[in-house]
């Protein structure tokens, strides 16, 4: 995960949103300083505003759009 964030040139506090429970994703993010994993269902304004960067999986983005549209 550190390599992925480095390739994207993401530094600072980062919120990483996933569409489902992916144990490998959670383990990878858990060890990254200044990164917080979150499921799409749990996303909220406080977490978005408290982080410099927001990265979502495609499925997470679709779930968020569907939740806000409905």
Q: Count structural domains, the chain.
A: 1
> Which of 32, 37, 40 minimizes the C-alpha distance to 65?
40
The secondary structure element, H or E, covering residue 6 is helix 2-7
pLDDT per position as a tens digit, 9-41? 999 999 999 988 778 888 888 889 999 999 999
> Which of 18, 23, 53, 61 minimizes the C-alpha distance to 37?
18
The reported pTM is: 0.87
pLDDT band at 7 (very low <50, low <70, confident <90, very high): very high
pLDDT at residue 12, as a whole number: 93
CB 38 within 8 A of CB 17: yes
User: Quick check: 44 pLDDT over 80?
Assistant: yes
> What residues make up the domain containing 55?
2-69
């Amino acid at each position: 995960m550190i390599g992925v964030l480095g390739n994207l040139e993401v530094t600072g506090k980062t919120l990483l949103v996933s569409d489902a429970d992916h144990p490998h994703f959670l383990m990878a993010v858990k060890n990254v300083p200044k990164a917080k994993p979150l499921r799409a269902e749990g996303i909220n304004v406080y977490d978005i505003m408290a982080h410099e960067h927001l990265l979502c999986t495609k499925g997470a983005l679709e779930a968020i759009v569907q939740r806000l549209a409905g």
